[in-house]
């Protein structure tokens, strides 16, 4: 690891109960820890909440990002573990949103004793349809998406963010996600998008030994119900909960229900 501390490098912030169980929240593509802000007050009443920005996102140290290290999800999983080591976090409930759900799976599979539970929020182990597996997109769809992103990232952001968010009757949500995307360095976003949409972590699911909650939305254009069901079937002993919510970011569109589901699982209710 570089000499700079992970706390500084990944803009780690800690809030909530000092002696409470630890929740570590990992954000998805094009976002930063700010996307959790509507669920944090509720979670912080019972837990120590640790937030961070992935390297290359938010207020992380952008100089620490390299396409070699972050050309796969493994580099991000390494960072999650390094944060846990530096802060001496144990019995962690790791909450991963979207692509960070698979980052969480990779981290927990490497050091299962470090984590008490996993919460996978709108996860997808593979976005591309493959035989009987339905990821929601054809390879041609993904190639077209990535080509549009690479040729005009700001235009792609303005078009895709509202689709990802859903909730067209609440345009301010799509606008917030658009703005978040647009704050991301386009060169970094291009690499992370390719990693996100072309990764295939289906084989990693069966290796999970940590108690796992899969939280999906009733209507999600990015992760359809088949994906949540597949993830649930592949992770031994996992729990699948469908939120009465629309879109891929329920921590913004349905924060109360999201916080309640995380709390219920984390506390063993």
pLDDT of residue 213 exceeding 60, the answer is yes
Query: Do the strands 239-246 and 212-219 form a parallel or antiparallel pair, or are they unpaired?
Result: parallel
pLDDT in tens, 64-101: 999 999 999 999 999 999 999 999 999 999 999 999 99
Tell me what pLDDT residue 110 has: 98
Query: At 183, is the pLDDT very low, low, confident or very high (cuts 50, 70, 90)?
Result: confident
Q: Give CA–CA dist 184/166, Å, rounded.
A: 21
Are the C-beta atoms of residues 86 and 16 closer than 8 Å to each other?
no
Tell me what pLDDT residue 268 has: 85
Q: Give CA–CA dist 23/263, Å, rounded.
A: 10
pLDDT of residue 2 exceeding 80, the answer is no
**Any idea which residues carry the catalytic annotation?**
98, 220, 248
Query: At 20, is the pLDDT very low, low, confident or very high (cuts 50, 70, 90)?
Result: confident
Tell me what pLDDT residue 18 has: 85
In the predicted model, what is the mean pLDDT of residues 167-176? 90
Tell me what pLDDT residue 1 has: 44
Strand partners, 114: none
In the predicted model, what is the mean pLDDT of residues 238-248? 96
Query: At 3, is the pLDDT very low, low, confident or very high (cuts 50, 70, 90)?
Result: low
pLDDT of residue 206 exceeding 70, the answer is yes
Query: At 269, is the pLDDT very low, low, confident or very high (cuts 50, 70, 90)?
Result: low
| 80-84, 164-168, 213-217, range with the lowest pLDDT | 164-168
pLDDT of residue 182 exceeding 90, the answer is no
The overall average pLDDT reported for the chain is: 94
- Residue whose entry in the numeric block shows the structure tokens 């290359």: 56
Residue of 99, 97, 228, 251 whose CA lies nearest to 167? 251
Residue of 24, 22, 48 whose CA lies nearest to 36? 24
pLDDT in tens, 92-103: 999 999 999 999
Domains annotated on the chain, with CATH:
6-126+200-266 (3.40.50.1820)
């Amino acid at each position: 690891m570089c000499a700079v501390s992970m706390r500084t490098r990944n803009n780690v912030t800690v809030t909530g109960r000092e002696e409470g169980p630890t929740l570590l929240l990992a954000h998805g593509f094009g976002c930063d820890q700010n996307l959790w802000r509507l669920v944090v007050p509720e979670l912080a009443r019972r837990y120590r909440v640790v937030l961070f920005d992935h390297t290359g996102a938010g207020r992380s140290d952008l100089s620490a990002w390299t396409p070699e290290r972050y050309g796969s999800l493994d580099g991000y999983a390494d960072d999650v573990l390094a944060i846990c080591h530096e802060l001496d976090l144990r019995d962690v409930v790791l909450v991963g949103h979207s692509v960070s759900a698979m980052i969480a799976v990779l981290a927990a599979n490497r050091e299962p004793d470090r984590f008490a539970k996993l919460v996978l929020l709108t996860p997808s182990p593979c976005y591309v349809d493959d035989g009987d597996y339905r990821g929601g997109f054809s390879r041609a769809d993904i190639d077209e998406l990535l080509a549009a992103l690479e040729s005009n990232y700001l235009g792609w952001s303005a078009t895709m963010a509202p689709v990802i968010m859903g909730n067209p009757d609440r345009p301010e949500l799509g606008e917030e996600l658009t703005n978040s995307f647009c704050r991301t360095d386009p060169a970094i976003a291009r690499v992370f998008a390719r990693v996100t949409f072309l990764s295939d972590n289906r084989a990693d699911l069966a290796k999970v030994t940590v108690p796992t909650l899969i939280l999906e939305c009733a209507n999600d254009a990015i992760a359809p119900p088949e994906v949540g069901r597949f993830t649930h079937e592949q992770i031994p002993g996992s729990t699948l909960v469908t939120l009465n919510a629309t879109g891929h970011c329920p921590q913004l569109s349905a924060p109360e229900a999201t916080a309640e589901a995380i709390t219920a699982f984390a506390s063993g209710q």
